[in-house]
Copies of this chain bind each other. A is one copy, B any other.
Amino acid sequence: MAGGGGSRLWPLSRNNTPKQLLALVSARSLLQDTVDRLLELMPPENIVIVTGAHHATQARAQLPAIPARNILVEPAARGTAPAIGLALVYIAYLARAKDEPDPVVGSFHADHAITKVAEFQAVVRDAARVAEAGFIVTLGITPDQAHTGYGYIERGTALPNSGGRPAYQVAQFVEKPDRATAAAYLATGRYSWNSGMFLWKLSLILGEYARYQPELYGQLQAIGATVGTPQFETTLRQVWDGVRTETIDVGIAEKSRRMAVLPADFGWSDVGDWGAVAALLAGGAADADQNAVLGQHLGLGTHNSLIYSTIEGKLIATIGLENLVIVDTGDVLLVCDGNKNQDVKKIVEQLKAQGSSRYL
């Protein structure tokens, strides 16, 4: 899944270059990193990307190893349930052609970062075995703090051990909690963060779409019937007009009785704000003053700050700063209190309201 805009990493993320297309913390974009991680688990022709019309050209350019036809373009954003559904009917077509009609399929966000790649790959292999046994497996992230920005998953009964990391039936999904509730969850040791990554057998998930989202299922089948034919794009556009917005979490996962969670810890981040970028950069190498720096920085008495410049040769000099975010993209400079990262989207909203599209 490589759709979505994301205004919380503005001014680096823009309408034309959303988060997943950015090389935020390495030389590769988050999308490229996501695909690279999976390419060690499967051949490139098995990887399918769903993206928006504005970003398809860049996605194809960033992913020369992926067959261009595997980069599917949503006519409009309709949430994760339709986006994943589109990929599923396309994958069903690929699977029939390969005479492997019921493969295990995984769904991954293209705008997350993972620092422990080998561990992630081992977890995916374990999760695939659980999916093979007939579960919708969600990768649960073992929390290291009482974060209020994520949904949580409570584990239930342990599933029979298939030799890998233990997996559990899902007791419940819970929405983003307040801090006290999050702390209580953490104390039980039974909760994971909902990463939004899933694995399932193709037949099982399509059956769940049919059961819980019958209208959408019918629409997807109509699209799926034209994959590989000249009618595909026209059908997709026509059907998509009538598709209602729904998320995979609410539309399927919270309803299904086949849900499992596999708790894991592979250095996951949803890169949800500049603080997350700072943490990822600093995880690589914070300087002596605990600053996360990309670019050329000279600091006096500057601590716990993010200094992020994409401008070749630019020097950022700082004096007497604490917990500040500084992001310079050349046409925009953002300077933000590190406790106010979430307000970046308010700036984006103001720019939209002003019609200042050149900065969006």
Contacts and interface: CB of A to CB of B under 8 A. Distances in A.
A242 interface: no
A317 B274 CA distance: 14
Interface stretch (A13-21, A131-139, A333-341): A333-341
A343 interface: yes
A331 interface: yes
Contact of A300 (B331, B347, B356): B347
B336 A320 contact: yes
A91 B356 CA distance: 56
Nearest to A332: B315
Interface string A323-335: 0101010111111
B320 A343 contact: yes
A331 B316 contact: no
Interface in A303-360: 309, 313-321, 324, 326, 328, 330-337, 339-340, 343-344, 346-347, 350-351, 356, 359
A82 interface: no
Contact of A319 (B320, B343, B351): B343
B317 A340 contact: no
Contacts of A316: 332-333, 335
A293 to B, nearest CB: 13
A351 B316 CA distance: 12
B319 A350 contact: no
A111 B301 CA distance: 30
Nearest to A358: B313
A352 B187 CA distance: 53
Contacts of A340: 300-301, 319-320
Contacts of A319: 334-337, 340, 343-344, 346-347
Nearest to A320: B337
Nearest to A322: B337
Interface string A275-302: 0000000000000000000000010110
Nearest to A331: B314
A52 interface: no
A313 B331 contact: yes
A263 interface: no
A320 B339 contact: yes
A332 B297 CA distance: 10
A315 B327 CA distance: 12
A328 B333 contact: yes
Contacts of A333: 309, 314-317, 326, 328, 333
A270 B351 CA distance: 38
A11 interface: yes
Nearest to A359: B315
22 contacts: A11-B317, A298-B347, A300-B346, A309-B333, A313-B331, A314-B330, A315-B331, A315-B333, A317-B332, A317-B334, A317-B335, A317-B347, A319-B334, A319-B340, A319-B343, A319-B347, A320-B337, A320-B339, A320-B343, A321-B336, A328-B328, A333-B333
Interface of A: 11, 298, 300-301, 309, 313-321, 324, 326, 328, 330-337, 339-340, 343-344, 346-347, 350-351, 356, 359
